Structure 1
């Protein structure tokens, strides 16, 4: 069953689904700066566009483009910003 999620007044939207092995979401983040929280370990892969993130424990922002991934631990928060609509796939463990 698909579940639609909406965050930040509609500036980030995703659709949750079950892959063959892990739960996942696919979504789009509109231009802006946001702070996301996690409940599970997440692997986020940028599908289109670019996402600049400040990961937990890091002092430097890193930019990830199409095809690039990063991990976020469970029970953590991270900052993300983008200048263009950016699509992503996120899997949860």
Structure 2
């Protein structure tokens, strides 16, 4: 069954699903700056737009564009900057 999630006053929305092998979400982020936390390992792929990420333990920001992906360990916090509406696909391990 699909589950709809909404964060940051509706500026981030996602739909949770079960793929053949892993749980996942597909979502959209509006322009803004956000901080998220993980409870599982995440692999995020940018579908459209771009996400600029501040990984845990660093002050540097790195931008990921359409078709690029990045990984985050479980139980960490990370920063996200979004300049244009961006779609993503994220799997959880």
Query: TM > 0.5 between the two?
Result: yes
Cα deviations by residue, 1:38-73 (Å, 9 ceiling, x for unpaired) = 100000100000000101122310000001000111
| Correspondence for 1:44 | 44
Unmatched segments (≥5 aa) in structure 1: none
Counting matched residue pairs gives 93
Helix, strand or coil for the counterpart of 1:10?
A: coil
Misfit runs of 4+, over 2 Å: none
| Correspondence for 2:24 | 24
The equivalences for 1:66-85 within 5 A come to 66-85=66-85
Deviation of 1:28 (Å): 0.2
Deviation of 1:15 (Å): 0.1
1:4 aligns with 2:9: no
Helix, strand or coil for the counterpart of 2:9?
A: helix
Moved more, 40-49 or 56-65: 56-65
- TM-score, normalised to structure 1, is 0.98
